[in-house]
Structure 1
Amino acid sequence: MGFRKKNKSPPVLSHEFVIQNHADMVSCVAMIILLGLMFEVTAKFAIMFITVQYNVTHTLHTDEKLELMNMYQSGPKDMATVFFYLLIAVILHALIQEYVLDKINRRLHLSKTKHSKFNESGQLAAFYFCSFVWGCSILTAEEFVTNPTFLWEGYPHTTMAFQVKFFYICQMAYWFHALPELYFQKVRKEDIPRQLYYICLYIVHITGAYVLNLHRLGLVLLVPHYLVELLFHASRLFYFSNENKQKGFTLWALLFVIARLLTLTLSVLTFGFGLSRTDHQGFSLAEGNFNVLTVRMTCLSAICLTQAWMMWKFINFQLKKWREQVQVQSSKKKTVSPKNKPGKKDSSRGGSVNGVMKAEDKTSPRSRKSKTS
């Protein structure tokens, strides 16, 4: 009888060890922060990581009574909150990967290239779906859509509701967590630049909207964008399960162009017309006012360049897909086209060439002797 070969565990703190156990290590750090709430000495620091900071109470005067509203501002302590929810995002990422995506991958038997893309689309589809539903609920509650002037009226928007601030905290935490996930998930070197591009773009735009007190505009632009991205990754998941299911890409292409036009329209309307006509003009870090021409043009240029880059990638993707379809159709035509068949005249002669019959044994026919009188 032969002995079973046991899989050797990787050395402690090696690359393979960290990759295999990164979720457990991160959960331990999160548990340490949560345990800090149990002691008075560390409770103040633990609360800074877990709860949303900079609470401000506003008093609303109504006809009958006074109402208190809890609003929130932004500040440097938010970095600690983003760090804690970054840890939560890493844990959720590992749970979705292990208990959902890995089980589906075993059934589909995908190649290495499709396997990595399937995991990427699965993670992003779950995030986009949750963010889209959450963003829609905030938009309906805050009435951002019904009144477009609400995007720039009363700027600087230094205060925000709890749901709005927590939404931005989670958004920043997720996209910051996507950077170490490139290492944890062993992303291929060919895919790292592409993923780094859109991760950094998300971080810059979302953080910029949060810091510059443009959270209203950022929220309105994120929701339709997340809907388009959700449709794309959902269509790609269905495509990997069955390559004949490609109708979702057609709807995605239509909504993609509409979302780009909507983003450009709202951005030009806000930075070009709305903020330039408000009463509060100037630059003040203390007041959170960044309503100057330089900042407005920088933000508008960044958005326009990003939309142009996305459209360029979209056009290249569509052209590549169109070329692949043309090649597939041309190859099908070649296989279906009939082979060259002999003509009727050649077949009717029964193998004669120039009136002379050919013998099957490749011998010339005998010539008859002429009779002499």
Structure 2
Amino acid sequence: MGLKRRTGTKNPSILSSEFFIQNHADIISCIAMIFVVGLLFQVTAPLASIFVVMHHNVTEGLDPNDIVLYTYGRQDACVITFYFLIAIVMHAILQEYALDKLNRKLHLSKVKHSKFNESGQLLIFYLISLIWGGDIILREGYLLNISQLWQDYPHNEMTFMFKFYFIVQLAYWLHCYPELYFQKVKKDEMKPRIIYTTLYLVFLTAAYVLNFTRIAICLSVLHYVVESIFHTSRLLYFAERSRAASYGFTVWNVLFVLVRLGSISLSVLTFWYGLAKQQVTPAMDIVTGNFNTQLIRINCLVAVFLLQAWMMWNFINFHMKRLRERAAQAASSKKKALAKKEKKQKKDELKKVSEDEVNELPEVDQNTKKDLRSRTGVSTKSKRN
């Protein structure tokens, strides 16, 4: 593939850290190709299919018109591993052929360069997930019949695209950890990235394992709408499209609060009212996939509440920080303007005092003084010329 990070003119030594960073996409794409090529041979096909093909098919009957349904299981870890490798390769392709070229045109600073790459990568993923998840919601009919989010629980059977959506989600957020090393992210930027990556993984994995995938896909699509607008606005800001970025951030400010309220409302409706009317079990039933216990539902609801509250807290702190920065900037500008005005006033006062002193002299001395000033001015001009 030839995807190499152009970080220097000298070629690093083989098996060194720098060599692996520059050539990680080629190395990982070769590993992924081993699984794909393995499907072509009868001997290796059973082993390779564990990593490539979707497993845990629970569809009964041989009718080709039947919808193929899947549940989750241990072999999903192998499939996630394969698409984890694919995510790293796709990340490198997008970085090399799109984001790096844009960075060179925009001439961004190192700080903006890192944030631009982060927003560019996340925006593409959010848009794909938004379109994909929205299509699943429309196909399954959740938008017109919201009661399907809790009816007929446990929801341990999924269509191919439904299950594939969660497999890709988990694989993508897992690949964000090694990307911190591949992209040479600074230590001060690592913490927030690790935090939001871990939160995505924890909530998506919990929803997938506990069979709360229907409510999870709706909440994720709502969240991805807001995040897409934010990262689009940030990219426009870095591209110096200030007016468009300002409109985008304004829309983001409004939708962020609305989506937080909508996520809480949808969670209360599902976990507190909807699932309480379904098949409630006193203890977890792993065999049937029924995790509809009061303890689990309350914990899930509290977890969603805390997540939304944490996001709102960060949102408020972000805007308060911006207000303080603007107030400090305005005060600094006002102070500079006042100092400049005072300096001008002192200069005018000194000039006025000098003129008053000349006026107090006798008429002959005044003319001599003015003549000396005019000559001094002329000589000064001639020297400058």
TM-score range, shorter chain: 0.7 to 0.9
Counterpart position of 1:34: 36
CA displacement 1:178-199 (0-9 Å, x = unmatched): 1110110100100001100000
**1:326 and 2:321 correspond:** no
Match of 1:176 in 2: 174
Where structure 1 has 5 or more consecutive residues not aligned to the other structure, the ranges are 1-5, 363-373
Residues 189/212 of structure 1: CA separation in 2 closer, same or farther (3 Å cut): same
Q: Report the equivalent of 1:290.
A: 291
> 1:370 is matched with which residue?
none
Match of 2:253 in 1: 253
Q: 2:151 aligns with which of 153, 178, 194?
A: 153
1:150 maps to a residue whose letter is Q
**Alignment equivalent of 1:233, drawn from 228, 231, 236:** 231
Residue 163 of structure 1 deviates from its aligned partner by 1.1
Q: Equivalent residues in 2 for 1:85-96 (5 A)?
A: 85-96=83-94
What percentage of residue pairs aligned between the two structures are identical? 47
Structure 1 runs (4+) deviating above 6 angstroms are: 343-350, 358-362
**Aligned mates of 1:184, 1:198 — CA distance in 2:** 18
Following superposition of structure 1 onto structure 2, how do residues 1-373 of structure 1 map, counting pairs within 5 Å? Answer: 7-57=9-59, 68-242=66-240, 244-245=242-243, 246-282=246-282, 283-334=284-335, 339-340=341-342, 351-352=355-356, 357=361
Is the contact between residue 150 and residue 275 of structure 2 (CA under 8 Å) also seen in structure 1?
yes
* Pair 347,208 (structure 1): closer, same or farther in 2 beyond 3 Å: same
Moved more, 236-245 or 131-140: 236-245
Is the Cα–Cα contact under 8 Å of residues 58 and 69 in structure 1 kept in the other structure? no
TM-score by length of 2: 0.85
1:12 Cα deviation after fit: 1.6
Give the counterpart letter for 1:73 in structure 2. Answer: T
Q: Distance in 2 between matches of 1:345 and 1:21?
A: 70
Query: 1:281: Cα distance to partner?
Result: 2.3
Displacement of 1:274: 1.3
The aligned residue for residue 378 of structure 2 is none
Residues of 1 paired with 2:66 and 2:133: CA distance? 25
Query: Are the counterparts in 1 of residues 133 and 221 from structure 2 also a CA contact under 8 Å?
Result: yes
Is the 2:280–2:293 Cα contact (8 Å) retained in structure 1?
A: no
CA deviations over 1:243-300 (Å, ceiling 9, x no partner): 6232211110110001110111111111111112213424101111111112112211
Alpha-carbon distance in structure 2 between the residues aligned to 1:293 and 1:280: 8
- Distance across 2 between alignment mates of 1:205 and 1:224: 15
Cα pair distance change 1:34/1:220, threshold 3 Å: same
Superposed CA offset, 1:24-72 (max 9, x none)? 1100110111111122222112112111111122579xxxx99522111
* Preserved contact between residue 155 and residue 280 of structure 1 (Cα < 8 Å): no
More helix by share: 2
Shift of 1:213: 0.4
* Uncovered stretches (5+) of structure 2, i.e. residues with no partner: 1-7, 370-385
CA separation in 2, counterparts of 1:223 and 1:266?
13
Specify whether residues 334 and 159 from structure 1 end up closer, same or farther in structure 2 by C-alpha distance, changes over 3 A only.
same
Structure 2 distance, partners of 1:345, 1:131, is 69
Contact 1:59–1:69 (Cα < 8 Å) also in 2: no
- Aligned CA distance change for structure 1 residues 154 and 98 (closer, same or farther; 3 Å): same
C-alpha distance 7-250 of structure 1, shift in aligned 2 (>3 A): closer
Contact 2:264 2:304 in 1 (8 A): yes
1:348–1:105 Cα change, 3 Å: closer
What does the per-residue CA deviation read over 1:203-257, in whole Å, with 9 as the maximum and x for residues that have no partner?
Answer: 0011111110011000010101001001101100000111623221111011000
Q: How many residues in Structure 1 have an aligned counterpart in Structure 2? A: 352
SS where residue 188 of structure 2 aligns? coil
- Bigger strand fraction: 1
CA contact (8 A) 2:275 2:292 kept: yes
Instruction: Please give the per-residue CA displacement for 1:84-127, whole angstroms capped at 9, x wherever unaligned.
Output: 11111101000000000000000111111000000000000010
CA distance in 2, matches of 1:206, 1:304: 16
Q: Distance in 1 between matches of 2:356 and 2:106?
A: 60
**In structure 2, what is the equivalent of residue 366 of structure 1?**
none
Give the aligned CA root-mean-square deviation in angstroms: 2.7
Look up the equivalent residue of 2:113 and give its one-letter code: H
Shift in CA distance, 311/350, structure 1 to aligned 2, threshold 3 Å: same
**Which has the higher mean CA deviation after the structures are superposed, 194-203 or 328-337?**
328-337
Structure 1 residues 27 and 66: CA distance shift in structure 2, 3 A: closer
| 1:75 maps to amino acid | G
Aligned-pair CA distance for 1:333 = 4.0
Q: Give the CA deviation at 1:331.
A: 3.9
Report how far residue 347 of structure 1 moved: 7.8
TM-score, with structure 1 as normaliser: 0.88
Find the aligned partners of 1:347 and 1:29 in 2 and give their Cα distance: 82
